[in-house]
Structure 1
Amino acid sequence: MAASSLLSLMFLISTLLLASSSLSVATNPTTFTIPLSPIFTKHQPSNPIKTLNSLASSSLTRAHQLKRPKSKPPLTKTKVFSHSYGGYSISLNFGTPPQTISFLLDTGSSPVWFPCTSQYFCTDCDIDPSKIPLFIPKLSSSSKFINCQNPNCAVISSINSLSGCQGCNCSQACPYSFLYGLGSTLGLLLSETLDFPEKLFTNFLVGCSIFSTQQPSAGIAGFGRTPESLPSQLGLTKFSYCLISRRFDDTSESSDLTLYRGSSSDAKTPGLSYTPFRKNPVSNDSAFREYYYVDLLKIIVGSKPVNIPYKYLVPENNANGNGGTIVDSGTTFTTMEKPIFDAVATALEAEMGNFSRASANVVASTLFNLCFNITGLKFEKIKFPELTFEFKGGAKLELPVGNYFVPVDVGNSSLVCLTIVTDSTFGSVGPAIILGNTQQQNFYVEFDLKNDRFGFRRQTCNKK
């Protein structure tokens, strides 16, 4: 179905309840805890190689979208679940009475949306449509569709040229189109109540999605830096999470996402190493403004810094935003532009002198760019070179081996492959390095929004 036809369909649906609203939240700090449940996931191949290849492919696809976003059409604790498609989910309650909906936690985007209405349709989503949890606006007394005159429609319109009310009647509901690495979603803007225990946030701006392509059976909770994100709408001073170690399968285990509101001091959380967020190297109307940039100074393999050209480490101070590093919970494997990756791969190969790189025909069955043959040996018994990311301010992200190497069996060969990927078609566009969630596993990480800094410490995230 063409995008224009879909937008026409959404305008017809806009005959549902319409009301103008403005974004507002209470200012008093609140503490509350929410029980959460995992979401339905799309079917994954039983073959581990296919699963890993799928995750590598999705990481590269998402990186293309993050690098070229316009190229194509007080204290809250919540559980965070890992899933086989590479993301982490949270559950939130929207509406009056509340309806529980699952969302992917995404620091690389800002809009918040959920599958919505009984007319919701998802193509290429590899899931039984009847199993997709839906939000039903007519069952909520607090649902109000945002019309085209509402200022919030203009906010969403600035995100994507396909969104907003160009050429439409001002009494109609405000349509949007959000593009992601793995597909897109279309819908109408909604004002709703976000329901936490002992605390309600009224007039929360959320997308009521009616049509999606290649999306998970959940919504997406954008934790980016622009006004429509969940942290911005709730007035968070910081948020933190600890991602459990993924075994590339679904699990009922969870960890915590913590949201902080109200007053916040400049004091640092004990045990955390901090690096300042870099001011986004772009103008206010640029698509890159929602990303969390950090100043990566060095990548160290073993004890030796890798020689990386300066232009890749520091983003250009213009609307192109080329270069630099961003932190993204929605990307599975860290991605690097090819010159950076090649330098890191060369350094790792030099440190892995006792092991040969896997032959081209063996590696061809994977989507990883660097694998070593360890046939006859156990992964746990091998001494791997250390891999460290050093940031401005002296903060060092010293990765455990499981965060950057994964054992892979291909035929009669046993390999270890680097879970950092690249693509020769990237080009020097957008962020040069996207720090994915695999490399963040078993670290407590903190996005201190008030003090504009990123903190982390090594920590076992799985609950016993």
Structure 2
Amino acid sequence: MALIVALPIGTPPQTQQMVLDTGSQLSWIQCHKKKAPRRPPPTTSFDPSLSSSFSVLPCNHPLCKPRIPDFTLPTSCDQNRLCHYSYFYADGTYAEGNLVREKFTFSSSQSTPPLILGCALDQDPSEQAEGILGMNLGRLSFPSQAKITRFSYCVPLRRSYAKITPTGAFYLGRNPYSRTFQYVNLLTFPRSERMPNLDPLAFTVGMVGIRIGEKKLNISASVFRPSAGGAGQTMIDSGTEFTFLVDEAYSKIGRLIGNMVLEFDKGVQIAVDKERHLADVGGGVHCLGIGRSQMLGVPSNIIGNFHQQNLWVEFDLANRRVGFGRADCSRSV
């Protein structure tokens, strides 16, 4: 299940449904191809012709022709002399389009400055979302560009029998419940220590083990930490649905017959009730919500949103830490 947030973009604002993704950098929206304006704005794409604050990035923009190539966001000059981007995600999906500048307009008196976004013309949007809200530590992520130092979300409990999509919560700024949160520090990696298998822009935390019921699994804490080559980092990712573990950890999971606890530095824990081990994938089929990270082609441990249900997750960028707090997310708005 993707975490969808509705945000007002442009002047006047057009509401866009975007996937909240702490695992990626660039935010992008699905743009309407036709040049002729139409009203009301389309429900499945953003119409640039209706916004007075929209502009495109030309080829000579420093971001399009950086002195040092930015491999996290490949750019090039297209046939119209506009800055073209291409972006691969861990699950193999691909997005491309032109880089543009546009505001997020929350009210007549509150808006962001023009931010660099992707304007995708060829992506087929999902039934629910029209873009991605990139929230990682990259310089082009939404928090970095908008100067947001804290944000948090609460993932509602999935109910396979529910006829309506459950609603959670999303905060930009301080969370009113944060005094009850447990915090774990983010692991940082200087540029001089960058490793080939490491994602330096991810929210990497110090995981130390997994417990099933009262039994702690025989997994070395080093399995959850980056090796000399960067493999093994543990990241909190709202954009990935399930949790993925490297083989050394996945092979020890076995049958989950009790509550599962993910253990982190400073005694911080994420507790998962045994009733939430299995995911309903349709057709009466239920699968374990944990997979091998090898399936994604990344040698990392990823805590997906399936194991963040009924949990406040706060990203405190100023203090470089992540907070967790138990909640009934359907009642946290």
| Pair in the same fold by TM > 0.5 | yes
For 2:264, the equivalent position in structure 1 comes to 391
User: Partner amino acid for 2:106?
Assistant: F
Task: Output the CA distance in 2 between the equivalents of 1:445 and 1:408.
Answer: 25
Amino acid at match of 1:452: R
- Contact 2:152 2:171 (8 Å CA) reproduced: yes
1:109/1:196 Cα in 2 relative to 1: closer, same or farther (>3 Å)?
same
CA distance in 1, matches of 2:51, 2:114: 13
Identity among equivalent pairs (%): 31
Matched position secondary structure for 2:180: coil
* C-alpha contact (below 8 Å) 1:157/1:164 kept by paired residues: no
CA distance in 2 between counterparts of 1:151 and 1:277 reads 30
Q: Give matches, 1:161-200, under 5 Å.
A: 162-165=74-77, 172-180=81-89, 181-197=91-107, 198-200=109-111
Q: Distance in 2 between matches of 1:286 and 1:143?
A: 37
Secondary structure of the 2:199 match is helix
Q: CA deviation at 1:286?
A: 8.3
SS of the equivalent of 1:202 reads coil
**Structure 2 partner of 1:202:** 113
Shift of 1:147: 1.1
Find the counterpart in structure 1 of residue 39 from structure 2.
none
Judged with a 3 Å threshold, the aligned counterparts in structure 2 of structure 1 residues 310 and 196 are, in CA distance, closer, same or farther, namely same
Q: TM-score, normalised by structure 2?
A: 0.84
The aligned amino acid for 2:61 is N
Residue type matched to 1:270 in 2?
R
2:31 partner amino acid: C
Match in the other structure for 2:143: 231
Report the alpha carbon displacement of residue 182 of structure 1 after superposing the two structures with TM. Answer: 5.0
Number of the residue aligned with 2:57: 146
Name the aligned partner's letter for residue 277 of structure 2. Answer: Y
Correspondence list, 1:437-448, <5 A: 437-448=305-316
Cα distance, 1:317 vs structure 2: 4.5
Q: Residue type matched to 1:389 in 2?
A: L
**Alignment correspondent of 1:420:** 290
Task: Give me the whole-angstrom Cα distance separating, in 2, the residues matched to 1:136 and 1:287.
Answer: 37
Give the direction of change, closer, same or farther, for the CA distance of 1:284–1:442 in structure 2 (3 Å limit).
Answer: same
The 1:409–1:332 alpha-carbon spacing in structure 2 relative to 1, beyond 3 Å, is: closer
Provide the rounded CA distance (Å) in 2 between the counterparts of 1:133 and 1:397: 36
Structure 2 counterpart SS, 1:224: coil
Deviation sequence 1:351-372 (CA, Å, 0-9, x none): x4xxxxxxxxxxxxxxxxxxxx
Partner of 2:173: 260
Q: Which amino acid aligns with 2:152?
A: S
Residue 64 of structure 2 aligns to a residue whose secondary structure is helix
Say if 2:232 is the partner of 1:323: yes
Which residue does 1:300 correspond to in 2?
Answer: 211
CA RMSD, Structure 1 to Structure 2 (Å) = 3.2
Aligned length: 319
Structural mapping, 1:269-348, within 5 Å: 269-280=178-189, 283=194, 288-318=199-229, 321-345=230-254, 348=256
Look up the match of 2:326: 458
CA 1:161 to 1:456, structure 2 compared with 1: closer, same or farther past 3 Å?
closer
Looking at structure 2, the residues matched to 241 and 458 of structure 1 have their Cα atoms a distance apart, in angstroms, of 12
The one of 282, 291, 299 aligned to 1:430: 299
Distance 1:404 1:450 in 2: 34
Tell whether the 8 Å contact from 2:186 to 2:321 is kept in structure 1 after alignment.
yes
1:407 is displaced (CA, Å) by 6.9
Q: Once the 2 structures are TM-superposed, how far is the Cα of residue 250 of structure 1 from its aligned partner?
A: 7.0
- Highest Rg: 1 or 2? 1
Please list the CA deviations of residues 207-230 of structure 1 after superposition, one character each: whole Å capped at 9, or x if unmatched. 111112685641000111101111
Question: Which residue in 1 is equivalent to 2:38?
Answer: none
CA–CA separation in structure 2 for the residues paired with 1:174 and 1:309: 46
Structure 1 residues 164 and 194, CA, compared in 2 at 3 Å: closer, same or farther?
same
Per-residue CA deviation, residues 59-94 of structure 1 (Å, 9 max, x unaligned), is: xxxxxxxxxxxxxxxxxxxxxxxxxxx101111111
How many Å separate the matches in 1 of 2:216 and 2:30?
46
Structure 1 CA distance for aligned equivalents of residues 181 and 313 of structure 2: 8
Provide the residue aligned with 2:8 in structure 1.
Answer: 93
Find the residue that maps to 2:172 and give its secondary structure. Answer: strand
Q: Displacement, 1:132?
A: 6.1
